[in-house]
């Protein structure tokens, strides 16, 4: 017998202590994700007020200022964001980690926890400038990035094993998603479907604890409601048929959106200077916003309007097309932010247009509640652009609290995913299977 191993009862007791300690640190990770989400929002609104003289949702701010002010704010804000990225890269080059930026999704796929401290901070500051100056990107992506980074900072400071540090990183990502979108289950499914493809049994409890803690703090302490407040949505007898059609239509739309993003990124990549790229991108978005102020921000107000059914399909279609162009330009020029929420906006506005078209040619009982198509559109486009249909179903159901639409949403997302993957579109977060080979 190996005496160094100690009595037989010591190892199980030690394992239990380590597990309980990891569960505690998972709660800390969840609390940090909630705190960084709230802190990012507060900083964003404060900077927005400083830049524009107005507070509140970005679209309402854009509508309150003159068109020329939108142009100036977009252009100068993008230029400042580019300067911060350039300076941040030089600052990072002087640090121990260099200027290499490790994405949190890639880090999990390769079981790394070395997220770059200086680059993460620089990109976070750049994101704040881009978002508050009207870039057509999501603010949630930087929130999740910061939550993931904080979890690695904590993990590297603790005397724990490497795989436990990776577990805290996974918990940080799921908690960031849970806090930003009020979707704790989707946060867990996100890392399973997009980051890991699998999960160690020992990591299940910490990841669930982190997501639940973050979501609980946001839900009970700050905002006790889903992110989109929608009354009960009824289903029609033809809901599965409409879901099938929505899957086909929005799968093609998601595929086209991915290719548009790739094309615009390739176009901007010809410019070597991040300052020039972001400035030109901000100028383009500013010009678009002079005509349509609704392109500012992540598209949240447009989703709300689509769900309310207060706008005509003509107005929605025009705003949708310009919003897609603005998002492609903002993302393609290198603005730090996500296109996750803009994808939901694309699906919501497209679903509202489709519902109004269907009402013109089909009997009312066949169409049913038009909000159902809005919600199915959100889920289907998200599935098409992320190639994560299960996450898309769970997330949209949680964000709208319309779980009675789960079955048609599953059909729509499955079909949209099949259409998008059939024609070789590269998903937003890369291929998790290929990434781990």
Q: Answer whether residue 197 shows pLDDT above 50.
A: yes
What number of CA atoms fall less than 13 Å from residue 390's CA on the CB side?
10
Q: Answer whether residue 115 shows pLDDT above 80.
A: yes
Integer Cα distance of 297 and 73 in angstroms: 13
Domain final position from 170, 197, 222: 222
Tally of domains in the chain: 2
- Determine the distance from the C-alpha atom of residue 23 to the mean position of all C-alpha atoms in its chain, rounded to a whole number: 26
Looking at residues 158-178, what average pLDDT do you find? 92
Q: Answer whether residue 269 shows pLDDT above 60.
A: yes
pLDDT score, position 5: 41
Work out the angle between the directed axes of helices 117-132 and 140-157 (0-180°, nearest 10): 160
The reply to whether 230 falls in a domain is no
The reply to whether 1 falls in a domain is no
Residue 22 lies in domain = 9-222
Of 40-54, 149-163, 165-179, 197-211, the one with minimum mean pLDDT is: 197-211
pLDDT score, position 125: 94
One domain for residues 302 and 416: yes
pLDDT score, position 241: 84
Integer Cα distance of 179 and 30 in angstroms: 9
Looking at residues 112-130, what average pLDDT do you find? 91
pLDDT band at 433 (very low <50, low <70, confident <90, very high): very low
One domain for residues 58 and 196: yes
Q: Answer whether residue 69 shows pLDDT above 70.
A: yes
pLDDT score, position 10: 44
Indicate the average pLDDT of the chain: 87
Contact predicate 334/175, CB 8 Å: no
Integer Cα distance of 188 and 394 in angstroms: 10
Instruction: Provide the 3-class DSSP secondary structure of residue 205.
Output: helix
One domain for residues 186 and 268: no
- Please give the structure tokens belonging to residue 370: 């038009």
pLDDT score, position 19: 84
Residues in the chain: 437
pLDDT score, position 361: 79
pLDDT score, position 2: 39
Contact predicate 392/69, CB 8 Å: no
One domain for residues 319 and 186: no
One domain for residues 179 and 82: yes
One domain for residues 40 and 163: yes
Q: Answer whether residue 365 shows pLDDT above 80.
A: no
Looking at residues 68-72, what average pLDDT do you find? 94
Integer Cα distance of 297 and 210 in angstroms: 28
pLDDT score, position 196: 60
One domain for residues 246 and 106: no
pLDDT band at 38 (very low <50, low <70, confident <90, very high): very high
pLDDT band at 6 (very low <50, low <70, confident <90, very high): very low
One domain for residues 158 and 281: no
Q: What is the CA radius of gyration of the chain?
A: 22
Q: Answer whether residue 434 shows pLDDT above 60.
A: no
Select, from the ranges 156-165, 185-194, 200-209, the one with the highest average predicted confidence (pLDDT).
156-165
Q: ∠406-387-328 over CA atoms, to 5°? A: 110
Looking at residues 219-231, what average pLDDT do you find? 82
One domain for residues 209 and 261: no
The reply to whether 229 falls in a domain is no
Tokens 């939108």: give the residue: 70
What number of CA atoms fall less than 13 Å from residue 146's CA on the CB side?
28
Integer Cα distance of 271 and 277 in angstroms: 6
Of 32-41, 128-137, 187-196, the one with minimum mean pLDDT is: 187-196
pTM: 0.89
Percentage of the chain beyond pLDDT 70 is 92
Sign of the Cα torsion 64, 66, 69, 70 reads: positive
pLDDT score, position 383: 94
Contact predicate 214/179, CB 8 Å: yes
One domain for residues 218 and 253: no
Q: Answer whether residue 198 shows pLDDT above 90.
A: no
pLDDT score, position 82: 95
- Give the residue from 394, 393, 401, 346 showing the smallest Cα distance to 374: 346
Looking at residues 245-271, what average pLDDT do you find? 92
Task: Assign residue 149 a region (left: φ > 0; alpha: ψ between -120 and 50; beta: otherwise).
Answer: alpha
Integer Cα distance of 34 and 28 in angstroms: 10
Q: Answer whether residue 378 shows pLDDT above 70.
A: yes
One domain for residues 282 and 311: yes
Query: Which of residues 397 and 191 earns the better pLDDT score?
Result: 397
pLDDT tens track for 330-355? 999 999 988 888 999 999 999 999 98
- What CATH number does the domain containing 162 carry? 1.10.3080.10
Q: Measure Cα distances from 122 to 30, 36, 85, 251, 272 in Å.
A: 23, 15, 6, 35, 19
The reply to whether 4 falls in a domain is no
Domain final position from 164, 197, 222: 222
Domain final position from 173, 197, 222: 222
Tokens 């998008």: give the residue: 420
- Range 352-361 contact pairs with CB under 8 angstroms and sequence separation of 24 or more: 352/306, 352/307, 352/309, 352/311, 352/313, 352/316, 352/377, 353/313, 353/316, 353/317, 353/320, 354/246, 354/249, 356/312, 356/313, 357/313, 358/242
pLDDT score, position 14: 75
Of all residues in the chain, what percent are helix, strand and coil, respectively (each to 5)? Answer: 75, 0, 25
pLDDT score, position 237: 66
Integer Cα distance of 203 and 155 in angstroms: 14
One domain for residues 266 and 182: no
The reply to whether 227 falls in a domain is no
Q: Answer whether residue 76 shows pLDDT above 70.
A: yes
Integer Cα distance of 254 and 251 in angstroms: 5
């Amino acid at each position: 017998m190996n005496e160094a191993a100690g009595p037989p009862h010591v190892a199980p007791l030690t394992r239990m202590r380590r597990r309980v300690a990891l569960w505690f640190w998972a709660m800390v990770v969840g609390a940090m994700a909630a705190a960084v989400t709230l802190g990012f929002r507060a900083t964003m609104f404060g900077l927005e007020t400083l830049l524009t003289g107005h507070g509140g949702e970005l679209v309402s701010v854009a509508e309150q200022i003159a068109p020329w002010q939108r142009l100036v704010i977009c252009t100068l804000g993008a230029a400042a964001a580019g300067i911060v990225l350039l300076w941040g890269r030089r600052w990072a080059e002087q640090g121990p980690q260099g200027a290499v930026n490790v994405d949190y999704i890639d880090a999990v796929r390769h079981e790394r926890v070395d997220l770059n401290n200086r680059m993460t901070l620089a990109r976070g500051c750049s994101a704040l400038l881009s978002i508050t100056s009207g870039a057509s990107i999501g603010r949630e992506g930087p929130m999740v990035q910061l939550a993931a980074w904080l979890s690695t900072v904590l993990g590297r400071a603790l005397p724990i094993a490497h795989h436990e540090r990776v577990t805290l990183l996974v918990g940080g990502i799921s908690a960031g998603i849970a806090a930003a979108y009020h979707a704790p289950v989707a946060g867990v499914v996100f890392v399973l479907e997009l980051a890991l493809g699998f999960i160690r049994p020992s990591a299940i409890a910490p990841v669930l604890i982190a997501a639940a803690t973050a979501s609980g703090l946001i839900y009970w302490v700050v905002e006790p409601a889903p992110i989109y407040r929608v009354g009960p949505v009824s289903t029609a007898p033809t809901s599965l048929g409409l879901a099938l059609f929505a899957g086909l239509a929005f799968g093609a739309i998601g595929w086209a959106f991915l290719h548009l993003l790739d094309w615009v990124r390739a176009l901007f990549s010809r410019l070597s200077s991040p300052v020039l790229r972001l400035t030109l991108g901000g100028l383009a978005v500013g010009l678009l916003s002079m005509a349509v102020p609704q392109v500012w921000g992540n598209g949240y107000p447009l989703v709300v309007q689509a769900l309310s059914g207060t706008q005509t399909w003509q107005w929605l279609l025009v705003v949708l097309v310009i919003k897609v162009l603005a998002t492609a330009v903002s993302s393609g020029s290198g603005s730090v932010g996500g296109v996750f929420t803009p994808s939901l906006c694309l699906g919501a506005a497209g679903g509202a247009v489709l519902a109004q078209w269907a009402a013109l040619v089909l009997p009312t009982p066949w169409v049913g509640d038009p909000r159902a198509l809005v919600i199915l559109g959100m889920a289907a486009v998200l599935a098409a652009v992320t190639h994560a249909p299960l996450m898309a179903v769970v997330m949209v159901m949680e964000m709208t609290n319309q779980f009675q639409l789960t079955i048609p949403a599953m059909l729509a997302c499955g079909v949209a995913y099949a259409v998008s993957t059939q024609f070789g579109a590269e998903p937003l977060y890369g291929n998790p299977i290929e990434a781990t080979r």
